[in-house]
Amino acid sequence: MSAMPAANPRKTAAVRKLGPVDIADLRAAVLAIPEDIWAAENAGKPNRFEALGATRHIVFRFIDSPRDWRGSHDRPAWAAWRDRLEPVLAQAVRDYGYARGLFPRVMLASMPPGGVIHPHIDANPAAKWPHKIHVPLTTNPGVVSFFGGEERHFPVGEAVEVDNLGPHWVRNDGDTDRIHLIFEYYDADQPDPDWLAPFLAASVAR
């Protein structure tokens, strides 16, 4: 196929503020994660992209294929964290009003002081449909994000949908870690885009 698949028209093209979320329980648990757990989870993560630099991840849910957001699976850490994560996820997406909303990717992302996520777009087809949502758990005044054509600072406990299909980057010029809960969300009742079936068929044929 010559044309790139079109994005979900429901996705933001800049930043959509989703409001405050009660992160107290989740944040306390995240701050208590031992260093060896961070290291082990990061070593086994499925999202290895050069643009992410030194950012470390604990991945709870992930897609089965980078071509299709409709298939996803729980990773080992999900069972232990589910009770803390689900209330935060539910609060963050309350304004969408989806009766059957699904979360194909759910993860923690920890950026150290001096860390950089280099300019990039989320290029795989599975990233084009779901909403991309951040909930900051820790930050500092030196953390700067670029989304929707401008620099931004996201406060702790305020959920926000970001445009992951336009150029974006992050840097941490402060002296503490920046830890975000990052996840994707989509409406299982929304009709699949017209391009999906031909795209997948063409991918299999190659």
- For the whole model, what pTM was predicted? 0.94
pLDDT tens sequence across 47-69: 876 656 689 999 999 999 999 99
Per-residue pLDDT, 2 = 43
Token representation of residue 57: 């991840």
Neighbours of 38 (CB within 10 A): 17
pLDDT given at position 1: 40
pLDDT digits (tens, 9 = 90+) for 113-156: 999 999 999 988 899 999 999 999 999 999 999 999 999 999 99
pLDDT value at residue 115: 95
Q: What is the mean pLDDT of residues 2-20?
A: 88
Q: Quick one: pLDDT at residue 72?
A: 98
Average pLDDT, the chain: 93
